[in-house]
Amino acid sequence: MACLIIAESAIFTIFVIAYLFYIGKSLTGPTPRQVLETPIFFTICLLSSSLTIHYAGKFLQRGERRAFLSLWSLTILLGALFLFGTGREWHRLIYERSLTISTNLFGTTYYSLVGLHALHVTAGVIMLSIVAIFSFSGRVGIEHSRRVEVLSLYWHFVDAVWVVVFTVVYLLGR
């Protein structure tokens, strides 16, 4: 998983470089300053899900399955909330501000970078849900804790990427 994370980091690095390179290079509007709103609430959701998944893993190690399951479900919920936030923002941008991926360079880089991240969150939520389904049927025990740790490593990675994306898109990019 560490290797996969290295590889994924390289992919994100390239997209972030493209975003940074194209900041302010759009020939037509709308510009980020006009349309972007900082999604603070959903960012808090995603970042706090790192905490919940961490403690979920700790509970699993000690064999407290109920506590594990509730924190794990909370993580999924927070991840899904974040995805909902991204979706709402995109809906607003597309229908109210008429910014699509082909409008200008900002649109192209914004949607592909944020979209790539959202894709990873989606994949993460799906994988987390599979674990949740297994643990509802009582098949996740203390012996799986190392595998669950691997998945949680991935989730931390996705969160860390969001910190970078957030900085680049919502702080530097405006």
Partner 1 sequence: MSSDAITIPGVGLQENPWVDTLHQWITTVDHKRLGILYIVYALVFLLLGGVEAAIIRIQLMHSHNDFVSPQVFNRMFTMHGTTMIFFVAMPILFGFANYLVPLMIGARDMAFPRLNAFSFWLSAFGGLLLYFSFLGGSGLYGAGNAPDVGWWAYAPLTARAFSQGHSSDYWTLALLVSGFGSIGTSINIVATILCLRCPGMKLNRMPLLAWLNLVMSGMVLIVITPLSAAQLMLLVDRYLGGHFFDAQAGGSAVLWMHFFWIFGHPEVYVLIIPCFAFMSEIIPVFSRKPIFGYPVMVAATVCIGFVSMSVWAHHMFTVGMNSYANSFFAITSMLVGIPTGIKIFNWIGTMWGGRIRFTTAMLFSVAFLFQFLISGLTGIMLASAPFDWQLSLSYFVVAHFHYVIVGGILFAIFAAFYYWYPKMTGRMLSERLGKWHFWLFVIGFHMTFDVMHVPGLLGMPRRIYTYEPGRGWDTLNLIVSIGAFIQAIAILVFLWNLVSSYFTGTKAGNDPWDAWTLEWSTSSPPPPYNFRTVPVVESRRPLWDLKHPEDPDSQYE
Q: How far is the CB of 37 from partner 1 (least distance, A)?
A: 23
Of 14-22, 34-42, 78-86, 126-134, the segment contacting partner 1 by CB under 8 A is 14-22
The interface mask with partner 1, positions 111-150, x = CB under 8 A, is -x---x----------------------------------
Do residues 52 and 74 make contact, with C-beta atoms less than 8 angstroms apart? yes
Selection from 167, 140, 169 nearest residue 47 by Cα: 167
Pairwise CA distance, residues 85 & 77, whole Å: 12
Neighbours of 71 (CB within 10 A): 21
Interface positions, 59-118, toward partner 1 (CB under 8 A): 101-102, 104-105, 107-109, 112, 116
18 binding partner 1? (CB under 8 A): yes
Residue keyed to tokens 């990675």: 157
* Residues 54-68 as b or e (16 or more Cβ within 10 Å = b): eebbebbeeeebeeb
**Would you say 77 or 153 has its CB closer to partner 1?**
153
15 binding partner 1? (CB under 8 A): yes
Q: How far is the CB of 18 from partner 1 (least distance, A)?
A: 6
Q: Which residue type occupies 83?
A: L
14 binding partner 1? (CB under 8 A): yes
Q: How far is CA 166 from CA 7, 50, 161, in A?
A: 20, 16, 8
**Would you say 26 or 61 has its CB closer to partner 1?**
26
21 binding partner 1? (CB under 8 A): yes
26 binding partner 1? (CB under 8 A): yes
Residues that bind partner 1 (CB under 8 A): 3-4, 6-8, 10-11, 13-15, 18, 21-22, 25-27, 101-102, 104-105, 107-109, 112, 116
